[in-house]
């Protein structure tokens, strides 16, 4: 553990941020009371949750438990073989799509200890992915594994640490989803085949330097757009740029592109897996292992969706089911006549019951760090601790209907849009830290990331040091928070938007988040595990980014930037005017300019939203006009509007090259 500390410090300035940036919208830190998890059997907890949700379910846990074991076992075998066979292709595939998913399927909540342990041990991504087929033993060193990986030659050359990381990254690309879906209790309208499912974790060792190279950081997190992969690319590609802070977003796109490039490489048959595979999987209740899982992800560009628990609706009669809330749109519809599946019959509360089964819950993301020379066995234990921690630290259930969080607990299901009419396929559940005070208003805010772990993702824009330090497991309650706050302010969106008051503090959440750092007291080798708060992304869904109207100040900054840079260099304009406003991308800026031009050209009565001073609009038109002409003409010199031009109250309709600008002062902005 002490080594951890050392390492983190080692990653000073030169290092990259530890945690990827958060989704564009909804960036918040979350609290997570460090309810000194009394080792609450996570699964018991889940069982409880499931129990609540399953209105009439008389758990068929016992049976499931037994079944689960077998299936897991089988699945694992299959995975292994499959991986051996299709190794390479799949690996890159999975990686490219950025969804190195791995999930440990934990049998039904009521599972007994032995089984529990078993299932946890087996399907771990670490084993199935990182170590792939080359490592069997539980005592191998991560380092060794790395070497082996690179030796296979299937990955990129090991030229430096970064590369090595990549290798590892690629290696752990496959996922396993061992669906355990045994419906034992046929009498129950609601089949509680619930199972705990770890997210499609992906473990990505972080690059390291010099002495620190002995540590491997595994960002094990919920498969999502915010991948360490993104982070890594980001740093590699743009580290040299001051503007790397916006890299995340860019990367996201890049990854998307890569995914698309990969998809076509699949064989026709494989490609269709996304639908066919899933379909058959759910329909036939067959096991789906790593490879398939990977493929499912490929066509999906909907990664933004969180991994909600899968909900299966049942039609007691037909015994048909449909999985719902599949992150992958398109799949969901294919499953079956989803509507029918939710139909309810013969019930006392005639036609008013909603029946469904929660197939599985996904565990929030985890952040793990272990030394490179860590043993596999130890890492497994670490992960186990992480799981236990996250499950035992207090969870509550969140519900999502049609992509939206249902926060009002007082609503009836009907009011929430849940009825037996068949829309259950839009229903999803999430597990969230129960200590986190949900505030709808706060949720959509773009809060500064104060906590390295919970805030996750958004940190790429900041120097890494503070993050590193905060990872110190030994300082869960350290004053680091304050530091972060201060630090954050420096990097937070500049005071460019007076209309965007500093987001309300979320003390509870913030302070609580730090408690996420957990040091297992049970295992000497255990390492700090930090469950990443799932809330962030889960609440975000795949919705478009939250709308952020440009404030007048921002508009002014934009206008000024355009006046100087022109309308063809949006990236520069963005950097110039919104350097610290991470939520503004150059595309946003460009779009805004577009609308500004439009706004400026229409009657004031037709304008909507916060009125923009006519003065600014005038400047918009002028600048727009100016740059338009510049382009058509001698584009030899990308000259910016000179002072002279700006000072000149010239005619906008100049035919010749001498386009001039009015006397609006450029430097008066802000």
Handedness of CA 313, 315, 321, 322 (dihedral sign): negative
Among 73, 568, 580, 625, binds DNA (CB under 7 A): 568
Q: Is 547 in the site for DNA (CB under 7 A)?
A: yes
Residues 267 and 264: their CA atoms lie apart, in Å, by: 8
CB 278 within 8 Å of CB 328 = yes
Chain CA centroid to CA 87, Å: 26
Two tokens, residue 156: 């990129």
Among 503, 591, 618, 625, binds DNA (CB under 7 A): 591
The beta-carbon contacts of 597-600 under 8 Å, at least 24 apart in sequence, are 597/621, 597/624, 600/624
Two tokens, residue 624: 């727009």
Q: Is 548 in the site for DNA (CB under 7 A)?
A: yes
Which residue, 320 or 500, has its beta carbon nearer to DNA?
Answer: 500
CB of 52 to DNA, least distance (A): 34
CB 104 within 8 Å of CB 197 = yes
Helix boundaries (H) for 195-267: 228-238, 247-262
User: Please, which of residues 571-590 interact with DNA by CB under 7 A?
Assistant: 571-572, 583-584, 586-588, 590
Which residue, 25 or 64, has its beta carbon nearer to DNA?
Answer: 25
Q: Is 251 in the site for DNA (CB under 7 A)?
A: yes
Say how many residues touch DNA, by CB under 7 A. 37
List C-alpha distances in Å: 42 to 102, 113, 395, 546.
Answer: 19, 11, 9, 34
CB of 43 to DNA, least distance (A): 37
Question: How many of the other CB atoms lie within 10 Å of CB of 40?
Answer: 17
Burial 529-551 (b: 16+ CB within 10 A, else e): bbbbbbbbbbbbbbeebeebebb
Which residue, 138 or 568, has its beta carbon nearer to DNA?
Answer: 568
CB of 488 to DNA, least distance (A): 21
Sheet containing strand 529-531, edge to edge, reads 215-220, 366-371, 529-531
Which residue, 37 or 444, has its beta carbon nearer to DNA?
Answer: 444
| Contact string (CB under 7 A) for DNA, positions 486-525, x = contact | ----------------------------------------
Which residue, 373 or 546, has its beta carbon nearer to DNA?
Answer: 546
Two tokens, residue 521: 């007291």
Q: Is 253 in the site for DNA (CB under 7 A)?
A: yes
Strands 356-362 and 195-197: parallel
Q: Is 41 in the site for DNA (CB under 7 A)?
A: no
CB of 306 to DNA, least distance (A): 16
CB 119 within 8 Å of CB 104 = yes
Residues 205 and 368: their CA atoms lie apart, in Å, by: 9
To which residue do tokens 């690179």 refer?
150
CB of 297 to DNA, least distance (A): 16
Among 4, 8, 21, 24, binds DNA (CB under 7 A): 24
Q: Is 27 in the site for DNA (CB under 7 A)?
A: no
Q: Is 607 in the site for DNA (CB under 7 A)?
A: no
β-strand partners of 103? none
Which residue, 275 or 571, has its beta carbon nearer to DNA?
Answer: 571
User: Please, which of residues 297-316 interact with DNA by CB under 7 A?
Assistant: 301
Which residue, 247 or 452, has its beta carbon nearer to DNA?
Answer: 247
| Contact string (CB under 7 A) for DNA, positions 527-546, x = contact | -----------------xxx
Which residue, 505 or 638, has its beta carbon nearer to DNA?
Answer: 638
Interface stretch with DNA, choices 86-94, 391-399, 454-462, 591-599 (CB under 7 A): 591-599
Binding site for DNA (CB under 7 A): 24, 233-234, 237-238, 243, 246-247, 249-251, 253-254, 257, 301, 544-548, 550, 567-572, 583-584, 586-588, 590-592, 594-595
């Amino acid at each position: 553990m002490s080594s951890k500390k050392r390492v983190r410090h080692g990653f000073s300035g030169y290092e990259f941020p530890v945690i990827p940036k958060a989704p564009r919208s909804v960036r918040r830190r979350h609290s997570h009371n460090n309810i000194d998890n009394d080792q609450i059997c996570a699964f018991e907890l889940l069982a409880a949750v499931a129990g609540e949700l399953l209105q009439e379910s008389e758990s068929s846990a016992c049976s499931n438990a037994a079944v689960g074991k077998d299936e897991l076992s089988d699945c694992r075998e299959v995975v292994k073989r499959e991986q051996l066979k299709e190794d390479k292709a799949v690996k890159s595939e999975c990686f490219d799509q950025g969804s190195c998913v791995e999930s440990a399927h934990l049998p039904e909540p009521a599972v007994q200890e032995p089984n529990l342990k078993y299932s946890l041990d087996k399907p771990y991504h670490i084993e199935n992915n990182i170590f792939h087929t080359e490592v069997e033993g539980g005592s191998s060193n991560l380092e060794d594994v790395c070497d082996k990986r690179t030796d296979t030659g299937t990955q990129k050359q090991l030229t430096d640490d970064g590369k090595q990381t990549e290798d590892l990254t690629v290696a752990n690309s496959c996922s396993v989803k061992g669906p355990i879906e045994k419906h034992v209790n046929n009498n129950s309208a609601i089949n509680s085949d619930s199972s705990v499912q770890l997210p499609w974790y992906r473990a990505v060792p972080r690059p390291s330097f010099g002495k620190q190279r002995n540590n491997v950081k595994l960002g094990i997190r919920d498969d999502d757009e915010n991948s360490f992969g993104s982070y890594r690319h980001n740093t590699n590609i743009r580290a040299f740029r001051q503007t790397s802070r916006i890299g995340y977003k860019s990367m996201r796109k890049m990854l998307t592109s890569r995914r698309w490039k990969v998809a076509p490489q699949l064989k026709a048959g494989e490609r269709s897996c996304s639908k066919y595979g899933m379909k058959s999987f759910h329909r036939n209740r067959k096991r789906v292992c790593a490879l398939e899982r990977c493929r499912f992800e490929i066509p999906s560009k909907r990664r933004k969706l969180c991994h909600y628990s899968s909900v299966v609706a049942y039609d007691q009669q037909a015994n048909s089911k449909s999985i719902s809330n599949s992150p992958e749109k398109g799949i969901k519809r294919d499953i079956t006549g989803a509507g029918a599946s939710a139909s309810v019959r013969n019930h006392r509360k005639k036609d008013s019951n909603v029946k469904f089964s929660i197939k599985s819950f996904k565990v929030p993301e985890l952040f793990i760090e272990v030394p490179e020379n860590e043993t596999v066995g130890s890492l497994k234990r670490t992960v186990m601790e992480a799981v236990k921690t996250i499950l035992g630290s207090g969870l509550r259930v969140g519900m999502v209907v049609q992509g939206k969080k249902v926060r009002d607990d007082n609503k009836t299901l009907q009011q929430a849009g849940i009825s037996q009419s068949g829309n259950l396929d839009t229903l999803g559940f999430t597990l969230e830290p129960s200590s986190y005070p949900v505030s709808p208003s706060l949720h959509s805010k773009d809060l500064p990331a104060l906590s390295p772990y919970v805030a996750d993702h958004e940190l790429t824009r900041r120097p890494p040091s503070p993050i590193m330090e905060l990872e110190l497991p030994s300082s869960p309650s350290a004053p680091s928070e304050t530091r972060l706050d201060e630090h954050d302010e420096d990097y937070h969106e500049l005071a460019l938007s007076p209309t965007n008051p500093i987001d309300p503090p979320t003390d509870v959440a913030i302070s609580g988040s730090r408690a996420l750092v957990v040091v297992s007291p049970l295992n000497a080798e255990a390492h700090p595990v930090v469950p990443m708060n799932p809330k962030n992304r889960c609440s975000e869904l795949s919705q478009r980014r939250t709308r952020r109207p440009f404030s007048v100040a921002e508009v002014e900054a934009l206008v000024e930037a355009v006046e100087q840079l022109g309308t063809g260099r949006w990236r520069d304009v963005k950097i110039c005017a919104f350097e610290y406003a991470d939520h503004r991308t150059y595309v946003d800026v460009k779009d805004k300019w577009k609308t500004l031009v439009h706004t400026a050209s229409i009657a004031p009565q037709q304008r909507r939203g916060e009125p923009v001073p006519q003065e600014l609009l005038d400047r918009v038109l002028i600048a727009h006009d100016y740059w338009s002409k510049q382009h058509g003409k001698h584009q030899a010199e990308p000259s910016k509007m000179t002072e002279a031009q700006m000072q000149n109250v010239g005619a906008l309709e100049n035919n010749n090259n001498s386009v001039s600008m009015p006397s609006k002062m450029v430097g008066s902005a802000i």
